[in-house]
Each structure stands twice: as structure tokens, then as C-alpha cells.
Amino acid sequence: MNPQTATTHPALLSVNNVEVIYDHVILVLKGVSLGVPEGKIVALLGANGAGKSTTLKSVSTLLRGERGDVTKGSVEFRGERIDHLSPNDLVKRGMVQVMEGRHCFGHLTVEENLLTGAYTRKLSRAELRQTLEKVYDYFPRLKQRRTSQSGYTSGGEQQMTAIGRALMAKPTMILLDEPSMGLAPQIVEEIFEIVRDLNKREQVSFLLAEQNTTVALRYADFGYILENGRVVMEGDAKELASNEDVKEFYLGISSGGRKSFRDVKHYRRRKRWLA
Amino acid sequence: MQFFLEVLLGGLLTGIMYSMVALGFVLIYKASGVFNFAQGAMVFFAALTAVGLHDLGLSLWLAIPLTMLVMIVLAMAIEKIVLRPLVNQPEITLFMVTIGLTFFIEGLAQAIWGASVRKLEMGIDDVPLEYLLDTLGIAISQFDLVAAGIAFVLVAGLAMFFSKTKVGRALRAVADDHQAALSIGIPLQQIWVIVWGVAGFVALVAGLLWGARNGVQFALTFVALKALPVLILGGFTSVPGAIVGGLIIGASEKIAEVYLGPYVGGGIEGWFPYVLALLFLLARPEGLFGEKIIRRI
């Protein structure tokens, strides 16, 4: 649909025809291919169970712990195959995943959470302090709450902690899974603003999985739409946002006024994407 | 009053010895969320190896570091053979595995060193300290005091390790959330070897102290059972909790034995800690110092 995504920019990350099977029987990804160019924000969109998280985990190799296997295809980061590496290797190479549902270390303080993020780096005390201050610059709110156990902080603060923790590893690429989950719209905006800021100022590339299509397309450069474990559409974020089908299926608006979702969805989907 | 003090102090010092065993449990529980049933077997194994090497003619100063080496190898083997294939399995599976491990380690220890009781001479006599006997008229074992001192140093060291060092923080992080720890690049395997190694070290210290007192024998594994009420009182996740829990259990069981025992025909010492633990479970299931279960609503 829009080949420029992969060709005009050298891809930092490229996922080639990846198939994932859970528990040896459940086929979740049926050949997903996508690319993240250096310095861009790429959104991975789709409904529940479309395979967004699985795609991210197949990249970060966290899949293995969940009895999932990449059975076909390959993942390359900076032109190097990474599917056989451990998450530890990947973090050292500059790619960190922020997991869905934030996964902060509840009994550690906010600051301790951030400090664990630098585990893979060999830093002097002063350098560590400096990195920490930098993260606090992006998330002033975390500085206020630095001594609270993160289990007692709010959802937004936990999301910030999780992103900040990933930043401590000084990544060039962050896999961000569902940052808006369970957060108030205002906090969601705040977090996406920070994502954009990090992208601009620190040149961090993002691959973000998101259900909130509206917000994600507003901040992303490119988008991929996943459905049933396949990429059904890809393109420039602005084009996607103005695409009639996307508008209808994911943004809930259509040119012919409001239509009943039930009437139109099933038929058009089949025709457009599966036939 | 003097008699009461003597009972109390004697109990507290025994309690410290319980704490040493409980500490091993806390370490592994903190770092992996697994209740390591095999800790008692590790205490036994460590003590027996140290004594066995000593009996072969090595000096204690050589036998103890050598035993530590053996414990580290054991930790690595456990991680590689047992824990690695079970990543992300339910806690109950891991718990069952440690029960299996218990039998294996006990068997291994006896297969190598035999099942006879061995005597361990540490060079500190289990006699009342004369100074205290003269000034206050209380008989306190010199050996117990040394043991308490060692325990204190050990605990202070561990507390620093957990709160101030990078690896200590990573250990706590792993305990909270395996997946998240993995996702930020903490290598679980390495962490598990470290924590089992440290637990092996604590087992060695506890084994030597108990062994010097009661002789190195199979019954050492039962001392580990006394660690259970200690843990319930102190909280499974707290190093200071293990100490305070040990003190309370030690003191209360001795006091109960001396003052309540005569009314019920004695033998209270054996079960009193468990009753105490039961009451605690009803009132404060996370223990005195355990991490509260944080639940967001």
C-alpha cells in the first residue's frame, strides 16, 4: 500500500514474515512484516487479540518465557539477526521493551525502579546520578515521588516509571506496549507528548502497540494495522488517519454520517481484506 | 528475676540461631518468590561437607572456603538443571521442586560423607561466660554470644547488600516481577546463581554454628522446620523480620517451657512456636516486617 515506509529510510528494525505459535498449537502471528526506520515513531494498531503484543514480544524475545515460539521468519536490528539473542543482549544493543500493564517493581521505590533500568550499563556513581537526573527532567512528577514504593503510585506514574526505567538503559529503540492502558485521556496525552519529546530530543525510535488508534496516529509517523495476526494495512500515519476504512473501523467516523457498526463492518471487512 | 533473665537470654540466643536458618529462606524467597524447602538440607549439606573435609585432615580455615566453593557449584547446578527449565512456572511447581531437591541433597550429603554423627570443634567452648556469671550471676553461654555476634554481622551485611548495591536491587526487582526484570535486561540466570550462592553461604554459617553445638548429623535438617514459625512471625520477605522472629520464637519457647511446662507435663518447647505462628497467621498474615501485599483498586 505504501512501500515508502520500508524503502526511503534505512530500517533500524525489520520484522520479516514472522509466524508465532503459542504452546505448539495456537497460531497467533501469521507472517507479520514491518519496519521501523531510524528516528521514527511507528504505531502498531489493531483490536484486542490481533497480535500487537505478540509482535513486540517476538522482537524483544520475551516470548520464550510465555511458551511462544517464533516458527518462521526473522527479526533484524541494525541489520543483525536478533531472534536467537536474550533480552539481556538486546538491552545492551539498545533495544528495550516497556511491557503492557507497566510491570513496575511494586515493592521498590520509584527511584530504585529507575536505577534497576541501568543494570546492563557499567556506570560510575556520578554517571548514574546524571542519567537519573535526565530521566527526572522528562518526568518531573517521578522526582516528587521518588521515595514512594511504586506499587502505591498512580497508573500514570507507573507508566512513567516504566518508560523512565527503560530510558535508564540509554536505548536507541523502545518497544512500547499499550501505554494508554487504563489511563485518563489527559495522562495519555501527557505520556504521548513525552514519547514525542524523547523521539525528537534523544533520537529514540519507537515501535508502539496501541488500541487507542486516534491518539497513536496523531503522534506516530507510520502505522501498521494488524488483524487476526496479519498486517492488513500500512502507511503514513496521516494517510491512515484519513483513510475511509480506518476511519470507519477504528475511529468510529465515516463520510456517510454515523452508521451502525454492525451493519457495515463485517461485510466490508471481508471484502476489503480477506477476500 | 535472675533466673528469668537467664532463661530469657538463653532463649534469645537460641533464637538467633533459628534466625540464621530462617535467613536462608528469606533470601531465596525475596529474590525468586520461591519458598525453598531445601534450605534445611542445604544447612545439613554445608555443615557435613565442611566437617568431612576437616576430618580428612584439612584445617578449618581451608575446609570452610572449600565448602563455600562447593555451595556455589551446587547453586550453579540447581540453576542450570532445575530452575532454568521452569522459568515462568507457577510458584507451587517451584515449591514442589524444592521438596524434591531436599531429598536429593540429603541423600547426596550422606552418600558422600556417610550417615554417622560427626563432631565439630570450633575452638569456642559452650560454657557460661565467667564475667557475666561473676557480676550478674547469670549463666550465658560464651558460644551463644559468639554465634549472636556472627549473626549480627551477617545480617548487617545482607541488609546493606539488598538496599545499596546494584545486584541487591536487581535481586529485589526479580522477586517482584520476573518478566519485567527480564525486559530491562536483568539476566535471571545470573541472579539466581547469585542468590542461591548467598543462601548457600548463609546455610554454611548456620550449619557450622548448629553443628558445633549439637554435632553434625541428620537432625540438622529438622532445625529448618523451626525456621517456619520464625518466618511466619517475621515475614517471609524481611531480613530483619527473620532476626526478630527468631528472637521471639527462641525466647517464648524457652519461657513457655520453664513457666508453663510444669502445668502440662513439659515438652512445650517442641510445639509452642507453631501455636504462636498459627495465632500470627490469623492476626497478621504478612508477618511483623513482611512486605505488605500491594493491591491497587
Extents of the domains making up chain B: 2-283
One domain, residues A215 and A261: no
Cβ atoms of B46 and B71 closer than 8 Å: yes
One domain, residues A198 and A272: no
Q: Do B172 and A112 touch (CB under 8 A)?
A: yes
Nearest CA in chain A to B169: A116
Q: Do B179 and A116 touch (CB under 8 A)?
A: no
Question: B2-283 maps to which CATH number?
Answer: 1.10.3470
State residue A268's pLDDT score.
54
Average pLDDT over residues A115-130: 94
State residue A4's pLDDT score.
45
Over residues A45-76, the pLDDT tens digits come to 988 888 999 999 999 999 887 888 899 999 99
A79 domain residue, yes or no: yes
Best probe of the B interface among A95, A103, A158, A170, by most B CBs < 10 A, is A103
- Helix, strand, or coil here: B114? coil
Residue A2 pLDDT exceeds 60: no
Residue segments in chain B with a per-residue pLDDT below the cut of 70: 293-297
Which residues of chain A have a CB within 8 Å of the CB of B30?
none
One domain, residues A95 and A186: yes
Which residues of chain A have a CB within 8 Å of the CB of B166?
115, 119
State residue A243's pLDDT score.
84
A126 domain residue, yes or no: no
A41 domain residue, yes or no: yes
One domain, residues A99 and A190: yes
Residue A5 pLDDT exceeds 70: no
Here the ipTM equals: 0.85
Residues 105-164 of A with CB under 8 A from B: 105-108, 112-113, 115-117, 119-120, 149, 151-152, 155, 162
Q: Chain A closest CA to B94's CA: distance in Å?
A: 15
Q: Which of A230, A171, A170, A218 is nearest to A193 (CA)?
A: A218
One domain, residues A94 and A184: yes
Which residues of chain A have a CB within 8 Å of the CB of B178?
65
pLDDT bucket at A6, cuts 50 / 70 / 90 = very low
Phi, psi of B67, deg, nearest 5:
-65, -40
State residue A264's pLDDT score.
54
Over residues A18-54, the pLDDT tens digits come to 999 998 899 999 999 999 999 999 999 988 888 999 9
A153 domain residue, yes or no: no
- Residues of B within an 8 Å Cβ radius of A: 87-88, 166, 169-170, 172-173, 175-187, 237, 291, 294, 296
Q: Do B181 and A97 touch (CB under 8 A)?
A: no
Give the number of other CB atoms < 10 A from CB of residue B290: 21
A177 domain residue, yes or no: yes
State residue B179's pLDDT score.
86
Cα separation of B138 and B133, whole Å?
5
Which residues of chain A have a CB within 8 Å of the CB of B175?
107
A132 domain residue, yes or no: no
Q: Do B169 and A88 touch (CB under 8 A)?
A: no
State residue B295's pLDDT score.
67
Domain tally for chain A? 2
The mean pLDDT value of chain A amounts to: 88
Q: Retrieve residue A50's grid coordinates.
A: 490481533
Over residues B263-283, the pLDDT tens digits come to 888 788 888 999 999 998 888
The identity of residue B289, as a single letter, is: F
State residue A12's pLDDT score.
93
One domain, residues A24 and A90: yes
The number of C-alpha atoms within 13 Å of B296 and in the hemisphere containing its C-beta is 15
Residue the block writes with cell 557449584:
B73
Cα separation of A199 and A52, whole Å?
21
Q: Which of A57, A41, A56, A39 is nearest to A191 (CA)?
A: A41
pLDDT bucket at A267, cuts 50 / 70 / 90 = very low
Average pLDDT over residues A167-179: 95
Q: Do A90 and B185 touch (CB under 8 A)?
A: yes
One domain, residues A9 and A85: yes
pTM above 0.95, yes or no: no
One domain, residues A34 and A99: yes
Q: Do B185 and A96 touch (CB under 8 A)?
A: yes
Cβ atoms of A98 and A166 closer than 8 Å: yes
Q: Do A117 and B88 touch (CB under 8 A)?
A: no
Residue A8 pLDDT exceeds 50: no
One domain, residues A93 and A181: yes
DSSP state letters, B195-255:
HHHHHHHHHHHHHHHHHHHH-BSTTHHHHHHHHHHHHHHH-TT-HHHHHHHHHHHHHHHHH
Q: Retrieve residue B108's grid coordinates.
A: 547426596
A229 domain residue, yes or no: yes
Q: Chain A closest CA to B84's CA: distance in Å?
A: 10
Q: Tell me the residue range of the domain where A183 lies.
A: 4-103+171-237
One domain, residues A95 and A58: yes
Q: Chain A closest CA to B188's CA: distance in Å?
A: 9
Cα separation of B199 and B180, whole Å?
24
One domain, residues A25 and A88: yes
Q: Do A120 and B179 touch (CB under 8 A)?
A: no
State residue A262's pLDDT score.
57
Q: Retrieve residue A62's grid coordinates.
A: 520475551
Q: How many residues are given for chain B? A: 297
Q: Backbone dihedral region of B233: left (phi > 0), alpha (psi from -120 to 50 degrees) or beta?
A: alpha
One domain, residues A35 and A81: yes
CATH number of the domain where residue A180 is located: 3.40.50.300
